[in-house]
Amino acid sequence: MESLKTITKKYIHCLAAFLIFVMIIGVIGGYRELRKETYRIVCLGDSIIGNERGDTSITGVLEELLGEPIYNGAFGGSTMSCRVKEDRAAVTTDTLSMAKLSEAIAQQDFYVQNAGVTRCAVMDYFPEAAYGFQNIDFDKTEILIIEHGVNDYQTGVPLDNPDNPRDVYTFGGALRYSLETLKAAYPKLRIILVTPTYCWYLAKESNCQEIDNGGGILEDYVNLELEIAAQYGVEVLDNYHESGIGAGGNFEEWKVYTQDGLHLNEMGRRLVAERIAERITEG
């Protein structure tokens, strides 16, 4: 029969082995938890990119054309600017604005965005898209595509503030602030701005050249984006003037490239994706 001393020694050895095993598993688990995914290309924007997320989406077609995974970090209804000054951190659309996302990407801290979509997920893909940011190693991201403007236009966000060129409650100020924030954090990051496309408003039998929601017509926002891109030395893909969407000026033409006058159909999404892919490969 084993002595108490021998049994105690065996117990201590077993316990020590178990603790070492637990520590090894903990280290491996921690490594797996900390290990981040590498996306060379990340897309940000509104519903034009965000709402369709399958093979025929803009990012899906980009993956097909470029032969690599693309992260779709776009959110329907989001804007370049912030819109609510009171308790703005609690407003999901503001936490997902380009101005706020640029801060989060620069700091690689997405707590505010995750909390926002937890409280209010406007679309069912919001949580997955928002939570996915924290698993991206933005130090290894090479190209950031930013597609915004139509929601700023539709909600009448002011174009600019002459007294404060970085006013994030204006379209121009939010764009300048976002570019400066991102360029300071990632000097080598290639940023490609993608302008909104021409759009029609079926209920009003009108279009974005005729309707002013308080800040100007859509082309005013596009032209300001082009101007700011030139000032900051950032690439811009002008889909408003150069994609061919809306070029005919015929009201019925909305059926060719859009589902509803605003959101692109499969043909429209492929057209935009092909233009983005061409710009990426040119660079």
Q: What is the predicted pLDDT for the residue at 121?
A: 65
- What average pLDDT does this structure show over 124-151? 96
Q: What is the predicted pLDDT for the residue at 86?
A: 60
**188 is written with which tokens?**
């080598």
Order of strands across the sheet that contains 143-147: 70-74, 41-45, 143-147, 190-194, 235-237
Q: What is the predicted pLDDT for the residue at 26?
A: 45
49 CB-near residues (< 8 Å, 6+ apart): 43, 57, 58, 59, 72, 74, 147
CATH of 39-282, one of 3.40.50.300, 3.40.50.1110, 3.30.750.24, 3.10.20.600: 3.40.50.1110
Tell me the per-residue pLDDT of 65-101, one tens digit each, with 9 for 90 and over: 999 999 999 999 999 999 876 654 446 678 999 999 9
- Residue 102 contacts residue 183 (beta carbons within 8 Å): no
14 CB-near residues (< 8 Å, 6+ apart): none
Angstrom distance (rounded) from CA 90 to CA 198 = 32
Q: What is the predicted pLDDT for the residue at 252?
A: 93
**15 is written with which tokens?**
């316990």
Q: What is the predicted pLDDT for the residue at 229?
A: 98
Choice between 132 and 25, residue whose per-residue pLDDT is larger: 132
Domain ranges of the chain: 1-35, 39-282
Q: What is the predicted pLDDT for the residue at 277?
A: 98
Q: What is the predicted pLDDT for the residue at 83?
A: 87
Tell me the per-residue pLDDT of 160-202, one tens digit each, with 9 for 90 and over: 999 999 999 999 999 999 999 999 999 999 999 999 999 999 9
- Residue 58 contacts residue 269 (beta carbons within 8 Å): yes
113 CB-near residues (< 8 Å, 6+ apart): 95, 96, 100, 101, 104, 130, 133
Q: What is the predicted pLDDT for the residue at 160?
A: 98
Instruction: Give the chain's mean pLDDT.
Output: 89
Has residue 22 got a pLDDT over 80?
no
Task: Write out the H or E segment, with its range, that includes residue 5.
Answer: helix 4-34
**Which residues face 190 on adjacent strands?**
143
Name which of 27-31, 61-65, 228-232 the model is least confident about.
27-31
Choice between 205 and 20, residue whose per-residue pLDDT is larger: 205
Choice between 42 and 16, residue whose per-residue pLDDT is larger: 42
Choice between 123 and 151, residue whose per-residue pLDDT is larger: 151
Q: Which residues in 47-74 are b (16+ Cβ under 10 Å) and which e?
A: bbbbbbbeeebbbbbbbebbeeebbbbb
Q: Tokens 């909305």 identify what position?
A: 254
Q: What is the predicted pLDDT for the residue at 249?
A: 83
Per DSSP, 243 falls in state S
Task: Report if pTM > 0.95.
Answer: no
